[in-house]
Amino acid sequence: MRAWGLIENDGLVQQRLPSLRNPAIQFAHRGARAHAPENTLGAFELALRLGATGLETDVWLSSDGVPVLDHDGFVRTGIRRKPISKLLRVDLPSHIPSLEDLYRTCGTEFELSIDIKDDDALEKVFLLAREYQAEARLWLCHPDWEVLATARTTTSARLVNSTRIKQMKNGPERRAAELAAAGIDAVNLHQSDWSGGLTTLFHRFDRYCIAWDAQHVRVIRDLVRMGIDGVHSDHVDRLQTGFSQAH
């Protein structure tokens, strides 16, 4: 896999490569989690105020079928942890918002990337986004692209395969072809997996290129110059600086 070139070996990309998405999306990972408690309405509101053009979060279903936003999927009750799937929405801690809370509080004028932690949440998420006329700005992420493919004919949301290069047993070109054939819109890789050659490859198949865990300005800058279409970071201020330096 080294032949594709890792980001740390690219240095400053000398010539900026074209993106499919211009400008690329600045996703605030779990809201502005470097600046506020993650996956809270306060973190999401702050991220948008700081200039993020997208939000990222994780979704689970409560026992009564409500899509709620939390990373780990467990809540602590005393010394024990209980899965969200075993609790009613009304019994969850107040800091855990529902997806509907997010739309009601923050509106819909932003891109929203949701990591599907519970497969049963997939349909409920895009139906709720549709209700708020936000489906076209929804990015649904899952490590198994075949799970996403089952929803292709039922949603206009963008479907995103979140994975790593090392997990592509048949190589990135084969994966790009599979995603294109199945109607999966994007691939989401760790920032260290990306290179200019790899963005060019996926763009040749008209697939969006997304990077996660980009926490430093130089990394964000180089990703943008590689032609990335979206960047996930905990630091909205560093996103803004990195994007500015890439121009």
Q: What is the pLDDT of residues 174-208, one digit of tens each?
A: 999 999 999 999 999 999 999 999 999 999 999 99
Nearby residues of 131 by Cβ (< 8 Å), 6 or more positions away: none
- Report the pLDDT value the prediction gives residue 217, as an integer from 0 to 100: 98
Please name which of 117, 19, 138 lies closest in space to residue 72, comparing C-alpha atoms: 117
pTM value is 0.93
- Report the pLDDT value the prediction gives residue 92, as an integer from 0 to 100: 96
- Report the pLDDT value the prediction gives residue 247, as an integer from 0 to 100: 84
Q: Which two tokens stand for residue 33?
A: 């989690």
Domains of the chain as residue ranges with CATH: 2-246 (3.20.20.190)
CA 126 vs CA 105, 112, 123, 154: distances in Å: 18, 11, 5, 9
Q: Which two tokens stand for residue 148?
A: 């996403």
Q: Does residue 165 contact residue 187 with C-beta atoms inside 8 Å? A: no
- Report the pLDDT value the prediction gives residue 15, as an integer from 0 to 100: 81
DSSP percent split of the chain into helix, strand, coil, nearest 5: 40, 20, 40
Which stretches of the chain score pLDDT less than 70? 1-14
Please name which of 177, 175, 183 lies closest in space to residue 156, comparing C-alpha atoms: 183
Q: How far is CA 168 from the centre of its chain?
A: 19
